[in-house]
Structure 1
């Protein structure tokens, strides 16, 4: 049990080791098989000096494998020259050694890590030392057996190098596919997060704003419950209307979410600047002194921009009702710039209402952040902050369809 545990820890350590350490271990593991299979190292009639020379030359080639992943082509070139030198020294009778496994490792590395062009070039280069190895194998073969030996040795070396090269290319293709899958997964996760944020913004705009107006109207009705029944009845009508509108928006949003390929920002809930009058009337019933001012000639808006403009005014008016309070003078300004295809929206209050301290609990803290994100997605600009007069101002500039046509034309 202890021995198995030690082996497991050793394998884990090797797996986590630096690539140079792993490649050094690989070189050491290939060195002895290469000497025993492709040299005269193990023959009994070879002297100690010859064995030492063979081992020394082999180490010169295998030492380069420690850097095979850092510099695949350079290492292949070095190992190729080492293999070629071994064949030439064998012909010169210095020793009998045909370096093979190191060259296979270098060929695999180029095939697995480099481009198709580099891989094919490396495979072509391998044919030179392979041809010399085949020739060396035929040196002591009788003439009657040379053809058979030639075919056998050539097939052995040729298939061995082709298989190693093919495995390398297969590994490279697998890594590329895994990278593509990882990128696709990352994009899918990003799309999910984007859709989740979009859904959260829609829920905030639908629920938080409607509930805020309903709470404010209910609070106003409670104060005049015994003295002004007509006003109470009107407030209840407005609460009912706001609730029905919110439910209708939620139903539409859920329908869009169930439809594959559609986007909330593009589909929206069917609201736009054409629906400002009911919106402004609702906050007026909550006690806000609100009015709308329009300058310029209105232009067509993309659906997503139209919804963003509506949500901006809705959020700004709701904030004014919560924080400035009933009686605060609030102006919604729509300024159409036909020359550059832009719409400027500004919603500001004078801060002179009568807010109740409890109304701060109605704030979710995400409204302005959601507006900033909406406007940025549409390609507009956004700003919000207190005014010198003590009020609060929300402003944005949004592109119209004319703006997009001008950009396409340019």
Structure 2
């Protein structure tokens, strides 16, 4: 179990150095029992203490393996090489293996392809010495067969650990790419929402401004100029219908199949400026449209954006500048 109150749960939340220290301690004894003469009854206490002390020198570096993978690998590699050389010299019988495997995995999982490949190639030196030590007492007639078996065992063991490290690194990279893709998608959604909000603001603000101005003008001439009141009411009705049509278009775009529907719906552009100008003219603003040069075809989004810019400018002029000429 790994609940919040269990030992494994607390270890899972601990700092990486604490986790790696526990891992090193957990690997130390199996390494001594499997790859040294530590457990043999014939080995004296002094030799056992020497073997344990030397093992601790290598395993202590694993506490910072994630902080400095290459430095730790170099230390553990030298420790493994030293263990093989001391074994050959008769100081003790110890081939440090699990620490080297852990350091190799760490480099493969946390560093790029080049350092990982170099680390894999470099372990061939201590592995070769370890194979040689394992064959020291093998009879000459059985040496070739034993050499193939031991070499394959050690070689495949280190290769598999290295491959697992590379697989873990690839999985982490894929997870990061997935998170970035999700973040970009969320950013695109937020951007689209902001654009839609601006569109709705432009639609409603322009229509309401024109209708308010027309209604105010109609109120002042209600009894003196009925024809002008009728014209103002017609303009209010026209603005309302236009706003409803634009809002309907926006809602269609926001539907799940909005792309297909939007392609069939009319979209506003610079060609629709005349009705827009007529609306603000009826509201009392003098507006002139001047086109310089030959009109060129625009993309749908660019055309709509240009229309909205003119619409927003006319709305602001009608709201804040009062009667006057706008070009």
TM-score by length of 1: 0.72
Provide the alpha-carbon RMSD of the alignment.
2.7
Question: Could you say which residue in structure 1 is the equivalent of 2:283?
Answer: 286
Q: 1:197 aligns with which of 182, 185, 194?
A: 194
Question: Could you say which residue in structure 2 is the equivalent of 1:46?
Answer: 43
Q: Larger % of strand: which?
A: 1
Contact preservation (8 Å) 1:253, 1:269: no
Q: What per-residue deviation string (whole Å, max 9, x for no partner) do you get for residues 334-368 of structure 1?
A: xxxxxxxxxxxxxxxxxxxxxxxxxxxxxxxxxxx
- Give how far 1:260 is off: 6.5
Q: How does 1:303-318 map to 2 (within 5 A)?
A: 303=299, 304-318=301-315
Q: Distance in 2 between matches of 1:203 and 1:161?
A: 63
Question: Could you say which residue in structure 2 is the equivalent of 1:385?
Answer: none
- Give how far 1:296 is off: 4.6
- Give how far 1:168 is off: 0.4
Within the alignment, does 1:98 sit opposite 2:95 as a pair?
A: yes
- Give how far 1:100 is off: 0.3
Structure 1 pair 269–55 and aligned structure 2 pair: CA distance change class (3 A): farther
- Give how far 1:4 is off: 8.7
- Give how far 1:261 is off: 6.3
Contact preservation (8 Å) 1:79, 1:102: yes
Within the alignment, does 1:142 sit opposite 2:139 as a pair?
A: yes
Contact preservation (8 Å) 1:210, 1:246: yes
Structure 1 pair 211–102 and aligned structure 2 pair: CA distance change class (3 A): same
Q: Distance in 2 between matches of 1:279 and 1:4?
A: 67
Higher relative contact order (CA 8 A, sep 6+): 2
- Give how far 1:180 is off: 1.0
Q: Distance in 2 between matches of 1:136 and 1:322?
A: 93
Q: What per-residue deviation string (whole Å, max 9, x for no partner) do you get for residues 277-326 of structure 1?
A: 322221222233x222638535536334443332222112222322344x
Question: Could you say which residue in structure 1 is the equivalent of 2:63?
Answer: 66
> What SS does the corresponding residue of 1:279 show, helix, strand or coil?
helix
Contact preservation (8 Å) 2:3, 2:9: no
Q: Distance in 2 between matches of 1:301 and 1:62?
A: 72
Question: Could you say which residue in structure 2 is the equivalent of 1:155?
Answer: 152
Q: Distance in 1 between matches of 2:50 and 2:297?
A: 84
Moved more, 92-101 or 293-302: 293-302
Q: Distance in 2 between matches of 1:161 and 1:57?
A: 22
Structure 1 pair 15–5 and aligned structure 2 pair: CA distance change class (3 A): closer
Q: Distance in 2 between matches of 1:84 and 1:331?
A: 86
> What SS does the corresponding residue of 2:326 show, helix, strand or coil?
strand
Unaligned runs of 5+ in 2: none
> What SS does the corresponding residue of 1:43 show, helix, strand or coil?
coil
Q: 1:233 aligns with which of 230, 233, 241?
A: 230
- Give how far 1:331 is off: 1.8
Q: Distance in 2 between matches of 1:243 and 1:147?
A: 95
> What SS does the corresponding residue of 2:55 show, helix, strand or coil?
helix
> What SS does the corresponding residue of 1:294 show, helix, strand or coil?
coil
Question: Could you say which residue in structure 1 is the equivalent of 2:105?
Answer: 108
Q: Larger % of helix: which?
A: 2
TM-score by length of 2: 0.89
- Give how far 1:132 is off: 1.4
Question: Could you say which residue in structure 2 is the equivalent of 1:30?
Answer: 27
